[in-house]
Structure 1
């Protein structure tokens, strides 16, 4: 697990490329916000997280499988991750930020990622 990084992952870089290509500018990993969101769009007050399906338990996703060894450890680990995600979401919304999540499996199809990101970013324009 030591080799698993939280920044600069392949899904995160894919989302950054699409957002930049669409003409949006953002900040990375703002540590002054709860949870240090992966992308922050300050002018839109939007915090965007790019979640790994395995670590953050994307419901119904084949990538969110359960390891067969050391089951108790993994259940506690996943339960803690989900609880932390919920707490961070609540804190950010309490501060007046919009929060959006893009899952790792959603970054695999470029066209659908573009559509989803446009929807998220243009939501407050309406």
Structure 2
């Protein structure tokens, strides 16, 4: 897994580009890159009504998902998806559809430097049990 102390760019240049940036980060095993696509105050839905709120919790959830191999094999290109965005001012609703028909929906916002980051991801990890914290507070990895 690749991590960098300071990613060179946070977010994406356009909201519809977030999905391809995410796929590239997954293929590279770049946890910092994945986390950099989310705002510091973002919320990601997890299974059983749980949520990962903030960068630390989001990092833990995606680290567990990468370790469990549920985001796709590291080093291999991600499945092709179609992505689109509906933009209203500094907010956007992004959707992506995978080849199997799974639709993912997120909310993104424009940062002060004009980049786009997700602030709400209600679907990407919602069915990924490996992302749930174990009773001890550690993440369970399947």
TM-score (ref. length: structure 2): 0.27
Q: Which has the higher strand share?
A: 2
Query: Which of structures 1 and 2 has the bigger CA Rg?
Result: 1
Q: Which has the higher helix share?
A: 1
